[in-house]
Structure 1
Amino acid sequence: MSEIKDFIYLDTNKVSSLYSQISGGLVQSIESTQSNSEDSKNLRNYSFKVFKHEAGGTETESNQLKETRVSHHEVYNELETELFKHGYAAELGVDISKDEIESGEAINSFENVLCIKAEGHVVFEDYQRLTRIAANYEAITGFINKSITSNIKDTPEYIEIYNQLEESRLEIKAMKNGSQKTQKKKQLEIVESQLEELTTTRKVGAVEPWIIDGLKTWVNVFLPDIFNVRLYPFSDMDNFHIMSNVKREFFLEQDIESVHFLYGSVPTIKVSLLGVITAIPKKDSITFEPLKEFDTETIDEEGNEALSVENGFRGVFRGFDGLEAMVRTCRYPRIMVQPIAIYRSILPNPKFQRKA
């Protein structure tokens, strides 16, 4: 028996597009037809007063049961097989080694293949979820800290210090000697600070409002509805991973909060990812300069005002390239892909096979 794929994410549009190109057509569904023939007697009794006569005969009735089912998973399996069969895909650790990535030789392979497949640990980065948490951070931490304080007040350590404070306050109130009273107050302040330290050291730290507001603005401007998945194929190579931006509608579990709850932000299981390569950062700086056409003296000549305006507007976009590079965080030796599928592959385990 071949492996079973437990799909977490499947971009059916991309599967359809690639499969139709590589196979010359697309099977939208698979229809299974089951025929069942049954012989039955069709006998009718006629009375002609003199004698009875059985008229009729034997007929064969054929029933067909048609079952139509969506075949996205099966089409994907065929697509993955065909991509590797025809040389459109490469697998990290199989076709491309860690040594090739470390040396930089893998860039040539990345540039000459459509898809990359890898298995490893993943990290989910849902920026929509991040902004929701940030917007409610103060209320959440306030609730947590009140719960912590409430629990601390029931501990023997807290009760002991609190009782010492109460005794000291009563002693101070009864004192008449000014110098003794002052000395006792200093001792009281020390005990009070100990009590404050006992509660504050266990509380969740507060974040200044400007940080929360800035975070929400940054995400809303540069990362609206972005859901990143980062896959690390080599556990001992921290600087390399595959970056991807998934679309929420292609998660098989449509409730994204359920995905977070089931797998966590850093899932403990390894998964496989197949994606179309979209960005291959180089070790050296980018040599392509889209505004180089304006590096000419003729731009300032009379009658070329349109060139100046175009240069100005297009230069605005290039001015934000630095900010966008900070957001995308796709730098050498990482690569960016558009995910086709994310799944956990399971091979049959002879140890758990039941025998009849």
Structure 2
Amino acid sequence: MKSIKDLIYFDYDKAKSLNSQLNGGIISELTRAIEEEGEMNSEVGFDIKILKGKIGGRDKEKSIRTEKIELYHELLNEIEKSLSEKKILTDLNHNFENGGESFNDFLKKVPEFTYVKSTGWSSFEDFERFKNIMENFNEIQRLIFASGLENNPEIIRQKEQINDLRKELKSSNKSNKSSEIKKLNAIEKNFDKTIEEESGAIFLDELFIDRIKTFLNTFSANRLNFRLAPFDVFNDFQILANLKSEYLVNGDFDNLIYTYGSRPNIKLSIFGIITSCPQKEDIRVDLNDEYIGYEENEMKDEDIFIKAFRGVFSSFENLEKFFFVPSYPKISVSPIAIYREVKFE
């Protein structure tokens, strides 16, 4: 069955490497064409042959981008076809829905899969966007709810006090403005309290916001995640993927949100290789087990230090589970492409 794809995300570097291994240069002309054009601020491009005469820079860039995406589709289709022919690519939806087995039996097979493709309900999680919203949450609350209380005498009085104090702070030449700042903070807190009482608005504690930002910066800096549930009923089975912003086809995450939304109401597809597949019972060998059976007085000083140091890394593993480390029965995929697919005979 053939299909039309609206590409959202395409990791060209991985696709090129995979194609080279699969086809040995069969479509090397295609990959070379994508790379030869160098006029788009070092972005991936290609040598477009239809550009003739005096074409404007903006029109040329648009033409290059359009043709580049067309070549992306051709490369993606070729890779999916090659993997399917070699029986390396598994369509998870088709495998489960036509396998004639229970969900638990399906889960037992998942560790055997390598490259997978799946379609389902999804969501995008941009941690930088989340931090920005958290940072500005209280100001947005003030803007929305205070505007509905414009005729409230207490709100009017507090607004005037805040504006006057801010003007004084800007114009003041004093080196120490701590007393004025404390006074301003106190009035702003009363302003927020009045809004809460009159409108039901909720303000977050500023210290809480700072701690959340610190936590995110430590464990999830610049993360853009994708989450997809292939099956409507068994929605605890999910595919998790970490995205690189440079491979978003439309340029940035904001464009994607405006197009599909952070939680799309149309099913999307993902194609990539499984990179993490937790089991119900962990079958991994714990590398720290090498120290089992040894008393500290039997170990060298450097081994005691290494054991303690590696124990710290092990403790981080539980913290990292808060941020997109899959737990059974979820799996993690290194994505090559994310797209909306329209199938036809």
TM over 0.5: yes
Alignment of 1:1-356 (within 5 A): 2-25=2-25, 27-30=27-30, 70=68, 71-97=71-97, 102-103=103-104, 105-150=105-150, 200=197, 202-285=199-282, 287-297=284-294, 299-301=296-298, 304-347=300-343
Give a deviation string over 1:150-190, Cα, whole Å, max 9, x none. Answer: 4x97xxxxxxxxxxxxxxxxxxxxxxxxxxxxxxxxxxxxx
Please state whether the residue corresponding to 1:346 is helix, strand or coil.
strand
331 and 101 in structure 1: CA distance in 2 versus 1, 3 angstrom threshold: farther
Contact 2:269 2:338 (8 Å CA) reproduced: yes
Task: Give TM-score scaled by structure 1 length.
Answer: 0.69
Q: What is the alpha-carbon distance in structure 1 between the residues aligned to residue 206 and residue 196 of structure 2?
A: 23
Q: What is the alpha-carbon distance in structure 2 between the residues aligned to residue 99 and residue 144 of structure 1?
A: 54
Q: What is the alpha-carbon distance in structure 1 between the residues aligned to residue 251 and residue 316 of structure 2?
A: 34
In the alignment of these two chains, the number of paired residues is 272
Cα distance, 1:246 vs structure 2: 0.8
Q: What is the alpha-carbon distance in structure 1 between the residues aligned to residue 343 and residue 279 of structure 2?
A: 37
Cα distance, 1:121 vs structure 2: 1.3
Structure 2: tracts of 5 or more residues without a match: 34-47, 52-66, 153-192
Contact 1:6 1:343 (8 Å CA) reproduced: yes
Q: What is the alpha-carbon distance in structure 2 between the residues aligned to residue 108 and residue 147 of structure 1?
A: 56
Give a deviation string over 1:185-218, Cα, whole Å, max 9, x none. Answer: xxxxxxxxxxx99984744311122321121111
Q: What is the alpha-carbon distance in structure 2 between the residues aligned to residue 308 and residue 251 of structure 1?
A: 46
Task: Give TM-score scaled by structure 2 length.
Answer: 0.71
Q: Which moved more, 1:335-344 or 1:84-93?
A: 84-93
Contact 1:231 1:243 (8 Å CA) reproduced: yes
225 and 26 in structure 1: CA distance in 2 versus 1, 3 angstrom threshold: farther
Please state whether the residue corresponding to 1:297 is helix, strand or coil.
coil
Contact 1:110 1:277 (8 Å CA) reproduced: no
211 and 294 in structure 1: CA distance in 2 versus 1, 3 angstrom threshold: same
Q: What is the alpha-carbon distance in structure 1 between the residues aligned to residue 334 and residue 102 of structure 2?
A: 20
1:192 equivalent in structure 2: none
Q: What is the alpha-carbon distance in structure 2 between the residues aligned to residue 236 and residue 285 of structure 1?
A: 25
Q: Which moved more, 1:197-206 or 1:137-146?
A: 197-206
Contact 2:195 2:201 (8 Å CA) reproduced: no
Q: Which residue identity does 2:330 align to in structure 1?
A: R
Give a deviation string over 1:198-254, Cα, whole Å, max 9, x none. Answer: 984744311122321121111100001111110111122231211111111101011
Q: What is the alpha-carbon distance in structure 1 between the residues aligned to residue 102 and residue 116 of structure 2?
A: 13
Q: Which residue identity does 2:3 align to in structure 1?
A: E
Q: What is the alpha-carbon distance in structure 2 between the residues aligned to residue 143 and residue 8 of structure 1?
A: 34
Contact 1:283 1:332 (8 Å CA) reproduced: yes
Question: Which of the pair is proportionally richer in helix?
Answer: 2
238 and 197 in structure 1: CA distance in 2 versus 1, 3 angstrom threshold: farther
Cα distance, 1:311 vs structure 2: 1.0
Question: Which of the pair is proportionally richer in strand?
Answer: 1
